Amino acid sequence: MRLQKSTQFGLYAVLELARNPERQLSVLDIANLYGISSHHLAKVLRDLGRAGLVDAVRGAGGGYTFSGNARRTTLMDIINIFEDIGSDETVG
């Protein structure tokens, strides 16, 4: 399966934030760590926030923290936010 960039960026962000859930990172912090687009990552983080996996702190010292359960959140949970797995049918 080939993952969309949004999915890849979501995985990067969640893995980085879940590493230390009390640590707050900005979009630029994460984007620079992985060499990815901060603009695209910001959209991905909004989707992760709507899904309840990250919390946003607004303002000059703002950023994101992991708010999910690190022991229960699976890679598939993150993939399902961005991919439509159910519509991928094989024609034979």
- What residues pair up with 66 in beta bridges, in sequence order? 54
Distance CA 11, CA 17 (A): 10
Q: pLDDT of 43-92, one tens digit each?
A: 999 999 999 999 999 988 889 999 999 889 999 999 999 998 765 444 44
Residues 9-29: what's their mean pLDDT?
Answer: 95
Supply 77's token pair: 């949970």
Is 45:13 a contact under the CB 8 Å cutoff? yes
Sign of CA dihedral 6, 24, 57, 77: positive
Question: Which amino acid would we find at residue 35?
Answer: G
Whole-structure pTM over 0.95, yes or no? no
| Domains identified in the chain and CATH numbers | 5-82 (1.10.10.10)
